[in-house]
Structure 1
Amino acid sequence: MLNIIGYRTIKTALGAALAIFIAEQLQLDFYVSAGITAILCISVTRKDSLLASWQRIVACVIGMALATVLFELLGYNVIVLCALLLLFIPIVVYVNAKKGIVTSTVFILHLYTLEHVTVSILLNEMLLLVIGVGAALLMNTYMPSNEKQMRNIQGEIEQCFQKVWYEYARYLRENSTDWSGEELIIASKKIDEGLAQALRATDNHIFRHDDYFYQYFKMRESLLDIMERMLPLISTLDYTVMQSQKIAEFMEELSHAVHPGNTAISYLKKLEEMTDEFRGMELPHTRREFEVRSALFHLLYEMENYLTIKKKFRPDPKRNKRL
């Protein structure tokens, strides 16, 4: 049932009902406005909810103050109401509390409807605001963890990386051209999805800082950029070149290494040894050999960048290390 309706829908319904119930029990005028405020303050993350609540409180204080002054001085009519809104909205936007415009306008219209302002009326409006905001914040104390979704995305990205390394190695070995490259596209989409989920998780941690998944997906984003840059380089290497076979073997090792329990340090060492070996080989004699050698060293440079970025990533000790 929860999956069908959605936890945010349930929280919104409960928060609105709770706010209206409390306001009604306190015999406040316009008590349903507390429910409207609660609905508007319930957000996707705790951080958004706190920000929205604060902006509504600030906007309502400004709105009530302006309404009291203008209505009492100039009267309760449509022209004054229009002038009030023309003054109120720019001020609220200027103080960066624009999320409170709708809620504040409702409270301003309460005063307009009553056609007088007293301390008890202002207290009534502030209680409606506090009850609505309080109910929303209470509902938003529950935020379901999305770590399972992020781990699933993490696994899908790593499968794509494994496939890309494997296909790169297969091309260098066999000169095969039947790979569509769709894993590069899928990985890019999954990284974007993972970053969105990670930002949501970060915004739900008000009193503790946990950006492991955000840093992980940003790291994968940088690695994917490198892998995409490598594609045209690989296509220039002839599969008959001896160095291509060595690089293919190294890439196949990397494809097997994209899983828990591996680090980049040992692969950097292997890459350095292979680079030194290539540098010690006989210089190219033809233009074609020169072009291949140039692409070869550029490819080695990109792989070094890949492994260096991965080496700098510091996994959470409580979570699996991944290459």
Structure 2
Amino acid sequence: MRKFKIGFRTVKTAVGVALAIWLAAFLNLEYYTSAGILTILSIQTTKRKSIHAIYTRIVASFLVLAMSYVFFTFLGYHALVLGLLVLFLLPILVMLKVTPGFVSSSVILLHIFNEQHFTLALLENELLIMLVGFGVGFLVNMQMPDIERELNTYRIEIEKNYSAIFSEIAKYLREGDTNWNGRELLLATEAVNKGKSLAYQDVENHITRKENLFYRYFDIREQQLEIIERILPKITNLPTIVTQAHVIAEFMDDLSNNVHSGNTAVKYRGKLSQVKKEFQELPLPQTHEEFVAMASLYQFLEEMDQYLSIKQNFKGLKIKKGKPVFN
């Protein structure tokens, strides 16, 4: 059984429904409770989704008002006419790409059918119900919780696990074997997926912001994770530990101690170039196993260069007093 929890969206829905119905009743509107239904249908997980939802519902509702006047005025208020109207309504909504508005427009449609007479007073009543329902839904859904603290938690989790992975790689390059179970790789994958998903939600909640550094950050970490998953077999399948491995281990230790959300890619690509130079100056392999090991290590260095280059053009997240600040 899942834990009982009242989320922020649930609270917004409850407040929005109560406010919409109270306001519609205050205005003495017929079918005033329908304003609460329209509000419920307008509340979405993000601001952009809410705006799109309201747009589709407004278009569909106005379409229903026009079609209801034509169908019921000329064909009469009969169940068959109602069914015929719906038969034509749905394809038009699909054509206009506003099918999510079908339910809300049906509310308006049934009001008109129930009245059995299309009048200006009825039109005014339905327009005001739409204004109250959609308006309250819009205002309520513009209130979104601050998720930067949670995003920062995932950022820290990723950097901690990347650091641990690099440390284990360095250890393996020195000792040739470790008791590492790969747990940090699984935790990093989970943190990257959850962080990117949450960051996308943050993108959807900022209508005018052109760039979201958190989303970019998690996207970069996802690309880097793919490289990490590729390089691990190159290390764990080394047939022997060669002298060059110790040079790379020192670099990985240094990198392990400096995994953060700033941008030091240029600095460490420079250090990596120096490692490659030292790598090339060491003695040539004497056996086939040493040759295979050196080839794998050189491929590893190329992958690490790619790992660093992915982040080179990223502005970085400047952390101040435990909270990310864009720089």
Q: TM-score, normalised by structure 2?
A: 0.92
Where structure 1 has 5 or more consecutive residues not aligned to the other structure, the ranges are: none
Q: After the TM superposition, which segments of 4 or more aligned residues of structure 1 sit over 4 Å from their partners? A: 316-322
Q: In terms of mean alpha carbon deviation, does 173-182 or 192-201 score higher?
A: 173-182
Counterpart of 1:36 in structure 2 is: 37
Instruction: Name the counterpart of 1:18.
Output: 19
Q: For 1:19, what is the secondary structure of its paired residue? A: helix
Per the TM alignment, residue 153 of structure 1 is displaced from its structure 2 partner at its CA by 0.6
Distance (Å, rounded) in 2 between the aligned partners of 1:318 and 1:162: 18
Rounded to whole Å, the distance in 2 between the matches of 1:70 and 1:307 is 65
Contact kept in structure 2, 1:175 and 1:238, CA below 8 Å: no
Answer yes or no: is the 8 Å Cα contact 1:166–1:251 preserved in 2.
yes
Between the aligned partners of 2:57 and 2:46, the Cα distance in structure 1 is: 17
Task: Write out aligned runs for 1:266-285 (5 A).
Answer: 266-285=267-286
Question: What corresponds to 1:291 in structure 2?
Answer: 292
For the Cα contact (< 8 Å) 2:264–2:312, is it kept in 1? yes
In the alignment, is residue 159 of structure 1 matched against residue 175 of structure 2? no
State the superposition RMSD in angstroms.
2.0
Deviations 1:233-258 (A, max 9, x none): 11233563100111111111111111
Letter in 1 for 2:88: L
Q: Whole-Å Cα distance in 2 between the matches of residues 321 and 113 of structure 1?
A: 56
Work out the CA distance in 2 between the residues paired with 1:240 and 1:114: 86
Secondary structure at 2:315's aligned position in 1?
A: coil
- Provide the identity percentage: 41
C-alpha contact 1:315 1:321 (8 A) present in aligned 2: no
Residue 76 of structure 1 deviates from its aligned partner by 1.4
Q: Is contact 2:240–2:293 with CA below 8 Å preserved after alignment?
A: no
Question: Where does 1:36-75 land on structure 2 (aligned, <5 Å)?
Answer: 36-75=37-76
SS in structure 1 opposite 2:311? helix
Please state if 1:86 is matched with 2:95: no
Is residue 237–residue 244 contact of structure 1 (8 Å, CA) maintained in 2? no
C-alpha distance in 2 between matches for 1:125 and 1:313: 51
Within-5 A mapping of 1:88-127: 88-127=89-128
Task: Supply the AA of the counterpart residue of 2:132.
Answer: I
2:226 corresponds to which residue? 225
Structure-1 separation of matches of 2:13 and 2:255:
48
Deviation at 1:318, TM superposition (A): 7.0
- Report if aligned partners of 2:247, 2:279 keep a CA contact under 8 Å in 1: no
For the 8 Å contact 2:192–2:221, the answer to whether it is kept is yes
CA distance in 1, matches of 2:124, 2:51: 22
Tell me if the contact between 1:171 and 1:239 (Cα under 8 Å) persists in the aligned partners. no
Equivalent residue letter for 1:68: Y
Instruction: Please report how far the alpha carbon of residue 34 of structure 1 lies from its aligned counterpart in structure 2 after TM superposition.
Output: 0.7
- Structure 1 CA distance, aligned partners of 2:191 and 2:319? 23
Cα distance in 1 for partners of 2:99, 2:209 equals: 28
Gaps of 5+ in 2: none
Counterparts of 1:321 and 1:142, CA distance in 2: 22
TM-score (norm 1): 0.93
Evaluate the alpha carbon distance shift between residue 268 and residue 321 of structure 1 in structure 2; reply closer, same or farther with a 3 A threshold.
farther
How many residues are treated as equivalent by the alignment? Answer: 320
CA deviations on 1:181-215 (whole Å, 9 max, x unpaired) are 12112111111101111111111112333401000
User: Are the aligned partners of 1:263 and 1:321 in contact in 2 as well (CA < 8 Å)?
Assistant: no
Given that 2:157 and 2:191 are in contact with CA atoms closer than 8 Å, whether structure 1 keeps it comes out as yes
The verdict on how the C-alpha distance between 1:318 and 1:246 changes in structure 2, with shifts beyond 3 A counting, is closer
Quote the Cα distance in structure 2 between the aligned partners of 1:239 and 1:294: 12
Matched residues in 2 for 1:321 and 1:173: separation?
38
In the TM superposition, 1:126-137 aligns within 5 A as 126-137=127-138
CA distance in 1, matches of 2:205, 2:184: 31
Shift of 1:140: 1.8
